[in-house]
A and B are shown apart, each in its own frame.
Chain A
Amino acid sequence: MSATTHSHGEHAHRPVWHYLVVAAFLTVLTFIEIGPLFEWYNLPAPVLLALSVVKFITVVALFMHLWDDAPIYTQLFTPPLIGAGLMVGVLMLLFWGYAPSPRNDTTALQERYWTDYSGQCTSWLRSHVSNRWYCASPAIDADRVIAQNKPAEAPKKKLDWSVDGKSPDEAKAILVEKGKGLYEANCQACHQPTGAGVPGAFPPLAGSDYIDDADKHVKIVLNGLNGPITVNGASYNGAMANFKQLSDAEISAIITYERNSWGNAMGTVMPEQVAKNR
């Protein structure tokens, strides 16, 4: 271990102009890369990826000196680098490809969610880049969602049906039947036709452990609900508008429909029970 060993750590130093040339080369590549950003021209994705690989290798080889240094450094760095690259590839293979690209905003799935969510949106912004409207208040913004959904003056229209004086079985049948239409009009966009909700966004009603108690169920529909909740072990943090503009009978119909559909069998909620909780 003497002077000869130390010379391993030393290598002929590249002159300053060398680094300037490398930097100029990288600058040229970067200029080529940003062309599509400013719409000077288009470059296909493989070309952009190739350019970044060239830049990457240039910096590693000439700024980080792997080209000049002992091979052991390259041997130490390359395997984890390749491993990390493979990991990115595997993750993408596993999870990529079944969802639409934001650019293709006309695809069916995007449209569906756009429709479902747009009712929840209270604040719209127009992007100066894409010239497209988007929602600037995700459903988390409880106050504004509720304020927006509050009816200006709910016209109390006479219902053409009633459960007054009906037997319990008849009342239940009427409520479920009328509740279906009201559910489709008021609830289905979020909770879905199947009552399964949207994972991570809207909690399910089918088999939900959150609405065991009928009075609690009524209060949610009457007053809305926001903030973090746990339903069947999954967390949600959203905002539901209140539906107090609906009549007692309508709400009792919706709730009875929800409590007796998709495998639920949780009994009838009569209009009187809604009135009690209002």
Chain B
Amino acid sequence: MSAHAPAEAHGHGTAEFDEHHWTSLGLDHMKLMFWVFLGSDCFLFGTLIGTYMSYRGQSLVGPYPLDVFSVEVTSISTFILLMSSLTMALAVLFAKTERPGASIGMMLTTAALGFSFVGFQMYEFSHFYHEGLTLQGNLFGSTFYTLTGLHGTHVAVGVLWLCLQSLWMAKGWIRGDVGTSVEVAGLYWHFVDIVWIVIFTLVYLLEYVQ
């Protein structure tokens, strides 16, 4: 298992092995590690979701969730993120089936959808702020902004990642397997989407349960 074969070895049977970064499991180690990272990110979001849920309904002063939530904004941004998962999945499919142009197109579409999600969140935050919800004003504000702010940051990082991934692909700068590199970006994107599925339900939907 000479993972660090010298450069001269390229073209002598081990080149492909080097380029693809296979682990001894026969799996791409970048992808493998990325799943481990996603596992750790579960804990990161778990702490904040747990905190939000623990403090849910314990704010002594308003505004309370139902005073500020806008069902239209939330619904639209949720659909946008959902659709971005579809375009991301297609981007991975196209990258894996040797259609880099289509893949880049889908990634940029995904990035645009993600960007508009972030835009909706910024609108939402400023709207909430003007309704009196601040980071330090009450428990709802503190836990809400921290949780959804971290999620929004994840989306913003994903947008940046997809833009750079597209640029790198267009320029042919990606070393190793292009399909796998897009797939890893896709894993990140879908993870951000499933976190939103949880946040959407726990933070928003449960407020409307009778």
- Chain A residues within 8 Å of B, Cβ to Cβ: 1, 5-6, 8-9, 13-14, 16, 19-20, 22-23, 26-27, 30, 33-34, 36-39, 42-45, 48-49, 51-52, 55-56, 59-60, 62-65, 70, 72-73, 76-77, 79-81, 83-85, 87-92, 94-96, 99-103, 113, 117, 123, 125, 127, 129-130, 132, 134-138, 140, 201
Contact = CB atoms under 8 A, between A and B. Distances in A.
Given A6-B22, A30-B78, A56-B194, A92 B50 contact: yes
28 contacts: A6-B16, A13-B93, A26-B82, A30-B82, A37-B71, A44-B209, A45-B209, A56-B198, A59-B193, A60-B194, A63-B190, A64-B186, A70-B25, A72-B27, A72-B32, A73-B32, A81-B39, A83-B43, A83-B46, A87-B47, A87-B50, A89-B50, A91-B54, A96-B53, A125-B131, A130-B64, A132-B67, A134-B132
A156 B86 CA distance: 73
B27 A85 contact: no
B120 interface: no
Nearest to B138: A138
Contact of B75 (A34, A39, A52, A101): A34
Contact of B25 (A56, A72, A132, A140): A72
Given A88-B46, A89-B50, 11 more contacts: A8-B26, A22-B89, A38-B71, A48-B206, A52-B197, A60-B194, A63-B89, A79-B39, A92-B53, A125-B131, A138-B134
B22 A77 contact: no
Interface in B93-145: 93, 96-97, 131-132, 134, 136-138, 140
Given A16-B90, A77-B38, A5 B22 contact: yes
B200 A52 contact: yes
B79 to A, nearest CB: 7
Nearest to A117: B61
Contacts of B93: 13-14, 16, 19
Interface in B30-71: 31-32, 35-36, 38-40, 42-43, 45-47, 49-51, 53-71
Interface size class on chain B is 35 or more
B46 A84 contact: yes
Nearest to A51: B201
A49 B205 CA distance: 9
B20 interface: yes
B122 to A, nearest CB: 20
B163 interface: no
A136 B63 contact: yes
B15 to A, nearest CB: 12
Contacts of A44: 209
Nearest to A96: B54
Contact of A127 (B31, B47, B68, B74): B68
B28 to A, nearest CB: 6
A48 B137 contact: no
A130 B67 contact: yes
Contact of B208 (A1, A6, A8, A37): A37
Contacts of A60: 190, 194
B197 A55 contact: yes
B63 A76 contact: no
A79 B50 CA distance: 17
Nearest to A89: B50
The 7 A-B pairs at the shortest CB distance, nearest first, are namely A84-B46, A134-B62, A80-B39, A91-B50, A136-B132, A95-B54, A102-B64
